[in-house]
Amino acid sequence: MSTDESYDVIVVGSGGGGLVGAYVAASRGLRTLVIEKTGLVGGTTAYSGAGLWFPGSAPLKRAGAGNDLDDARKYLRSVISDSSREALQDAYLAAGVALIDELERNRWFQSFDHRPVPDYYPSAPGATAAGRTIFPPELPVADLGEHAGLVRKPITTERWGIEEGPVLRGGRALIGRALAAFLETGNGSLSVNTALQSLIVENGRVAGVVAVRDGAPVRLRANRGVLLAAGGFERNAELRAKYRNAPLTAAWTNGAPGNTGDALQAGIAIGATTDLLDEAWYVPGLVHPDGLPVFHTGTRGGIWVNSAGERFVNETGPYDQAGHTIARQHAASAVSHIPAYWVFDQRQLDRDSFGGPPGEPPRREWFTSGALKRADTLDELARLIDVPHGALARTIEEFNGFARTGVDQRFQRGQTPWDQMHQHIVGFAYDPVGNYPAKPSPELANPVLPPLDTPPFYAARIVLSDIGTKGGLKIDEHARVLGTDGRPITGLYAAGNTAAAMSGRVYPGAGTPIGSSLAFAYRAVNDIAG
Ligand SMILES: Cc1cc2nc3c(=O)[nH]c(=O)nc-3n(C[C@H](O)[C@H](O)[C@H](O)COP(=O)(O)OP(=O)(O)OC[C@H]3O[C@@H](n4cnc5c(N)ncnc54)[C@H](O)[C@@H]3O)c2cc1C
């Protein structure tokens, strides 16, 4: 093969797994190149809260969260309930602990914090109410010096131009830290605007990649291995349709713009096997005045209704369970659930604002665009959102009964540690990492079940969205991509949403997607480094 450039390791994609894996490889003395298709690093990881579900890791121990890996293993076994993924689960758990120990020895990563986010299946064996999620510390933009402009902006800035201030938070802090640590090793190179097109196979092993850099093809040799960490295929409408990853449209995803499944297709082209291609990290999306949804979680006032004007889910529950319920009910019933409507009243608006900082009224364009409807009576609101006359009022009458007793007899809203967490915080419809403290509501029997009794009434649209697809190339516990014969393809690794998820069809706890991206990138690099 005639090559333009030669490295030990090539990492495709600069999300969390890509950059952290690249840092670890470069810190082991391997000459490592990260190629990134877009002009910015970070992918969907940069949009995220950067929660990492890493049971047993040092920050949890420091916080006295008493995390036992055996309990976490029991929990994963129970909620995922798929024996074919057990080796991946064990690899994930071991990698999380070792990776955080290793990262925290580097000045850029000191030090992660535990914040209590309850596990998503509270009655499963091994679940904890304190959860196992850790977060990276914030990072002043100025600390990144000349690289500051390389980090992808938050969704709020990219979509609506809202300025983000002088500090990187959540996923942007993780990406900024990983980028700085990687480049500081002296063994790392970054090439943005460089898109993987295909994999080069020589003598039965993956020996490099063909990419397009600034419009020109380039052949890049990887002497030790190629790590595909290029996100999912959430932005590729054709692949979504092909793999029945529907009814979500590619425009409704919260995934980053570059995630069109290129690495998945390159792997398939050389004989890789796949799994879970019909799955996504589904979430509810609140439709904004620009007509596009943003990942929504933490509803603690108001209800969601389908086209029959009926509730269909615990609105406060974990977002992926709500997302899957929307998808399932929409497919299985004659009643439309896409869109569903989030119906609330003036009391709720006064209490929590509209997902954003308390005290802020909805901006005018919410009403002028029709994204938020307002009416003085429930019958008038029902007419505006086209649900049967009387149905909405009946649903709310029943819900108000639950609000009076504090017990939701239909969907048990407010019963779990996750739901109860929302007594203390307001959800984040605008800002993925803004957890606004809630005002105390001593007058309510249950603070996440306030009655809807104060006109005017409001309705906003909820559609099915996702934070990435989760099916992809099948990997083993070393993140080696498997061929259709079930054997590893030498030299080829995958992590994050390019790989089929170790968690199968469930979302065990906050931080599983990025946790999987980091953990399997780490496994891959350890295997490559030998
Ligand atoms: C608002 C929000 C909050 C979230 N919060 C959390 C959270 O707190 N914890 C959590 O675990 N998850 C969270 N998620 C989900 C999580 O961010 C993603 O699932 C995860 O970051 C995906 O990581 P990845 O490494 O697979 O891909 P990404 O981070 O998306 O990175 C993939 C990169 O690969 C690049 N790429 C694609 N194709 C090519 C190509 N051909 N050549 C070169 N480069 C390519 C892309 O441009 C992109 O930069 C959140 C998501 C959103 C939207």
What pLDDT tens digit does each residue of the chain (530 aa) get?
A: 456 999 999 999 999 999 999 999 999 999 999 999 999 999 999 999 999 999 999 999 999 986 789 999 999 999 999 998 999 999 999 999 999 999 999 999 989 999 999 999 999 999 999 999 999 999 999 999 999 999 999 988 998 888 888 999 999 999 999 999 999 999 999 999 999 999 999 999 999 999 999 899 999 999 999 999 999 999 999 999 999 887 678 889 999 999 999 999 999 999 999 999 999 999 999 999 999 999 998 888 999 999 999 999 999 999 999 999 999 999 998 999 999 999 999 999 988 877 566 677 888 999 999 999 999 999 999 999 999 989 999 999 999 999 999 999 999 999 999 999 988 887 655 454 455 777 788 899 999 999 999 999 999 999 999 999 999 999 999 999 999 999 999 999 999 999 999 999 999 999 999 999 999 999 999 999 99
Kindly report the backbone phi and psi dihedral angles of residue 279, in degrees, each rounded to the nearest multiple of 5, phi listed first.
-105, 155
d(CA 441, CA 300): 12
Q: Is the CB of 319 under 6 A from ligand 1?
A: no
Q: Is the CB of 295 under 6 A from ligand 1?
A: yes
Structure tokens at 251: 């425009």
Shortest-distance Cα residue to atom 2 of ligand 1: 48
**pLDDT for the residue numbered 368:** 96
Structure tokens at 498: 């390019």
Say if CB 503 and CB 516 are below 8 A apart: yes
Q: Is the CB of 286 under 6 A from ligand 1?
A: no
| pLDDT tens digits, one per residue of 285-311 | 999 999 999 999 888 899 999 999 999
Q: Is the CB of 49 under 6 A from ligand 1?
A: yes
| pLDDT tens digits, one per residue of 432-455 | 445 577 778 889 999 999 999 999
Q: Is the CB of 472 under 6 A from ligand 1?
A: no
**pLDDT for the residue numbered 358:** 66
- Which H/E stretch holds residue 44? helix 43-47
Q: Is the CB of 14 under 6 A from ligand 1?
A: yes
- How far is ligand 1, taken at its centre, from the CA of residue 48, in Å? 8
Residue with tokens 């809260």: 49
CB atoms within 10 A of CB 129: 14
Q: Is the CB of 429 under 6 A from ligand 1?
A: no
Q: What is the DSSP letter of 10?
A: E
- How far is ligand 1, taken at its centre, from the CA of residue 45, in Å? 4
d(CA 393, CA 482): 55
Shortest-distance Cα residue to atom 31 of ligand 1: 15
- How far is ligand 1, taken at its centre, from the CA of residue 467, in Å? 8
- How far is ligand 1, taken at its centre, from the CA of residue 319, in Å? 17
Q: String of b and e for 59-85 (b: at least 16 CB within 10 Å)?
A: bbeeeebebebebbbebbbebbebeeb
**pLDDT for the residue numbered 428:** 57
Among 72, 76, 85, 96, CA closest to 16: 96
d(CA 25, CA 33): 10
Say if CB 515 and CB 486 are below 8 A apart: no
**Preceding peptide of 116 cis, ω within 30°:** no
Among 481, 468, 528, 381, CA closest to 45: 468
Say if CB 502 and CB 514 are below 8 A apart: no
**pLDDT for the residue numbered 433:** 47
**pLDDT for the residue numbered 435:** 59
Ligand 1 test: best mutation among 162, 514, 522, most atoms within 8 Å of CB?
A: 514
Angle CA 73–272–249, to nearest 5: 80
Antiparallel, parallel or unpaired: β 167-168 and 133-135: unpaired
Among 211, 174, 197, CA closest to 511: 174
**pLDDT for the residue numbered 247:** 67
**pLDDT for the residue numbered 295:** 92
Say if CB 475 and CB 499 are below 8 A apart: yes
**pLDDT for the residue numbered 432:** 45
CB atoms within 10 A of CB 135: 23
In order, the DSSP letters of 267-288 are: HHHTTB-EE-TT-EEEEEEEEP
Question: Atom of ligand 1 at shortest distance to CA of 281?
Answer: 19
- How far is ligand 1, taken at its centre, from the CA of residue 17, in Å? 9
Angle CA 182–186–190, to nearest 5: 55
Q: Strand runs (DSSP E) across 105-214, as ranges?
A: 113-114, 133-135, 139-140, 167-168, 188-191, 194-202, 205-213
**pLDDT for the residue numbered 136:** 97
Q: Is the CB of 491 under 6 A from ligand 1?
A: no
Question: Atom of ligand 1 at shortest distance to CA of 497?
Answer: 26
Residue with tokens 């891959």: 524
Q: Is the CB of 494 under 6 A from ligand 1?
A: no
What SS3 class is residue 500?
coil
Q: Is the CB of 15 under 6 A from ligand 1?
A: yes
Q: At what angle do helices 86-103 and 512-529 cross, to 10 degrees?
A: 80
